[in-house]
Amino acid sequence: MELLKTLVVDDEPGMRQSIHRALSGMNLTFPEIEDKIGFDVDTAGTGSEAIGKIRQRRPDLLLLDYKLPDMSGMEILDQVQCDDNEMLIIMITAYASLETAVSAIKGGAFDFLAKPFTPAELKAAVAKAIQSLILANQVKKLAREKKQVRFQFISVLGHELKAPINAVEGYLEIIKAKTAGEQVDAYADMLNRCTVRLYGMLKLIDDLLDLTRIESGQKKREPIQVDLCAAAAAARETALVSAGERGVRIRLECEEPVQMIADAGEMEIILNNLVSNAVKYNREGGDVRIRISKGQDEVRIRVADTGLGMTPEETGRLFQEFVRIKNAETRNIPGSGLGLAIVKKIALLYQGDVTVESKKGEGSEFTVILRQPGG
Amino acid sequence: MKTQKTKTILLVDDDTDFLDQLKLQLETRSFRVITAQSQQEAETVIRETRPDLAVLDLMLEHFDGGFSLAYQLKKADPSVPVIMVSGVAGETGIHFDAATEEERDWIRADVFLAKPIRFEQLLREINRLLG
């Protein structure tokens, strides 16, 4: 049980005692938290006693009489309020006017309780106050987590952007110092590597822009009638050059047009990412099979390869940003680490998802499910 | 003239360009260079040969692959100097140093360098450690 430090301030001893008794025996449960909430109750009979106790041991919950012999409840609040450590304040008042209620809330009270009140009314007011505190804490926690995720993303991004710059700079230093001798030919590979790294960096920036546009909702989406078979044929064309270099065959299975209302750019991103991955992570002379099919209320894009495949542990983290499966086989395959994260984000925009089935050493099949917007 | 035995340096980094560049630069300074591009590859090298010095990237397939390699190297031969290199220190807020005895003992490295490293600086540390 979690004990909420509670201070009851009232000049009537009977009122202090009855609140003390009611709260001490009370425990509340909330669906958001596991622990029960109980109350560790202290009391004060005057304003100065209350201020002393608040300064010494700041309560979580303050039940404060509006009118005390030496000062008003508002004056106490003025003296002890600070922003960083919130107290839940419930103002107790015998004069339940709108005016006192408004000034109490303005002064930082969460709620007010009109005398006389029943234990049930006290319980309801306290429960409501705690509920608000729980919600506020959850909002804060979410904001913190969001900041943390953002920080990690930017850290990794910084690292990913610096790596190619460092590589190119390193080669330029070598070329400048003529470390490999006077022959120009000796530097051909280095210059080639520079262009490869710069190209990779451009791809990363492009992917990053796609990702942020999709995430922020800023990307202008133009839903039109798209034939996914034609789009897949175009993605196949695009991949043919790199596939040809490695002897990979790409087969497209789509007998009749599969129409869908979608943003053509988004469909292109999905298909290009999946097909180029299927080529990149294939073995020499392997096969890629693209299948487009239409179900009752969904469209399925399936892209299978006969390549490296993955372990269940690897497929588990595949759709996260900047996750690239690093091993001896994938080491020299370029990629931004954002492609599948983007595919997933787009699929979610279409109330769909992307999944993968993979077997290490045999290949992978990615399935994207898309549903009509509003359908 | 006194002939000096050629010193062997083990370079471990998953960035192939970083490896190629350092290898070339060190070879022109008459070092023998063995490279490994993964933790697994490096572990094989460590089992089979005993380099005179190792330059390890902290982050390999796993976040702390370099630490694990440094530990294995030092366990096999505590006298082998280890230079740990990383590009992540400044960005993640994770800060390492090998300035004190306690830190060196803890991270099992003799020197910690943040990427991008300047070759002259690396060379100076290598010469100092092999001194």
The reply to whether A2-117 and A222-375 are identical in fold is no
Chain B residues close to A193, C-beta within 8 Å: 17, 20
- 């595919």: which residue's tokens? A343
**Tokens linked to A44:** 């004060």
Closest Cα in chain A, distance from residue B32 (Å): 16
Given an 8 Å threshold on Cβ–Cβ distance, is A328 in contact with B37? yes
Rank A31-40, A105-114, A350-359, B90-99 by mean pLDDT and report only the highest: A350-359
Please give the model's pTM, rounded to 2 decimal places. 0.68
Domains located in chain B, CATH noted = 8-130 (3.40.50.2300)
ipTM for the predicted complex: 0.81
Residue of A169, A180, A326 lying closest to B61 (CB–CB)? A326
Task: Give the full edge-to-edge strand order of the sheet including A249-253.
Answer: A249-253, A287-294, A298-305, A363-371, A353-359
Q: How far apart are CA A316 and CA A355, in angstroms?
A: 10
Rg (CA), chain A: 33
Mean pLDDT across A315-330: 81
Peptide bond into B116 cis (omega under 30): yes
Mutation target among B16, B17, B23, B29 for the A interface, most CBs of A within 10 A:
B17
Please say whether the structural domain A222-375 has been given the CATH code 3.40.50.1370. no
For chains A and B, count residue pairs whose Cβ atoms are closer than 8 Å. 55
Band of residue A29 on the pLDDT scale cut at 50, 70, 90 = confident
Instruction: Pick the residue from chain A with its C-alpha nearest to B87.
Output: A159
Segments of chain B scoring below 70 in pLDDT: 1-4, 61, 63, 88-99, 104-107
Instruction: Pick the residue from chain A with its C-alpha nearest to B37.
Output: A328
Instruction: Pick the residue from chain B with its C-alpha nearest to A172.
Output: B21
Band of residue A152 on the pLDDT scale cut at 50, 70, 90 = confident
Helix B16-28 and helix B119-130: axis angle, to 10°? 60
Burial A77-103 (b: 16+ CB within 10 A, else e): beebeeeeeebbbbbbbeeeeeebbeb
Coil, strand, or helix at residue A23? helix
Residue of A158, A179, A332 lying closest to B91 (CB–CB)? A158
Using the predicted structure, report yes or no on whether residue A296 has a pLDDT greater than 80: yes
**Tokens linked to A255:** 């007998």
Mean pLDDT across A331-335: 79
Instruction: Pick the residue from chain A with its C-alpha nearest to B16.
Output: A332
- 């490279």: which residue's tokens? B35
Mean pLDDT across A257-278: 94
Using the predicted structure, report yes or no on whether residue A96 has a pLDDT greater than 70: no
Residue of A152, A167, A328 lying closest to B17 (CB–CB)? A167
Q: How far apart are CA A321 and CA A211, in angstroms?
A: 10
Put simply, whether B92 touches A (Cβ < 8 Å) is yes
For residues B2 and A189, which has the higher predicted lDDT (pLDDT)?
Answer: A189
Give the C-alpha distances (Å, rounded to integers) separating B79 from B26, B41, B47: 21, 22, 16
- Which alpha helices (DSSP H) does chain A contain, by range? 13-24, 47-56, 73-80, 98-106, 119-176, 188-216, 228-245, 264-280, 312-316, 339-349
Mean pLDDT across A161-184: 92
Write the pLDDT tens digit of every residue in A47-59.
999 999 998 988 9
> What pLDDT score was predicted for residue A138?
87
Band of residue A273 on the pLDDT scale cut at 50, 70, 90 = very high
Q: What is the CATH topology of the domain spanning A2-117?
A: Rossmann fold (3.40.50)
Query: What's the whole-number average pLDDT of chain A?
Result: 88
Band of residue A375 on the pLDDT scale cut at 50, 70, 90 = very low
Write the pLDDT tens digit of every residue in A58-95.
898 999 988 888 888 888 888 887 654 578 889 888 76
Residues 4-63 of B with CB under 8 A from A: 14-18, 20-21, 24-25, 28, 37-38, 40-41, 60-61
Ranges of each domain in chain A: 2-117, 222-375
* Residues in A lying within 8 Å of B, measured between beta carbons: 152, 155, 158-159, 162-163, 166-167, 169-171, 173-174, 179-180, 193, 197, 326-328, 331-332
Chain A residues close to B17, C-beta within 8 Å: 167, 170-171, 193, 197
Given an 8 Å threshold on Cβ–Cβ distance, is A167 in contact with B37? no
Put simply, whether B94 touches A (Cβ < 8 Å) is no
Q: What is the 3-state secondary structure (H, E, C) of B20-65?
A: HHHHHHHHHCCCEEEEECCHHHHHHHHHHCCCCEEEEECCCCCCCH
For residues A104 and A113, which has the higher predicted lDDT (pLDDT)?
Answer: A113
Beta pairing class for B53-57 and B111-114: unpaired
Closest Cα in chain B, distance from residue A162 (Å): 8
Put simply, whether B114 touches A (Cβ < 8 Å) is no
SS3 content of chain A, % helix, strand, coil (to 5): 50, 20, 30
Chain A residues close to B41, C-beta within 8 Å: 328
Rank A85-89, A105-109, A318-322 by mean pLDDT and report only the highest: A318-322
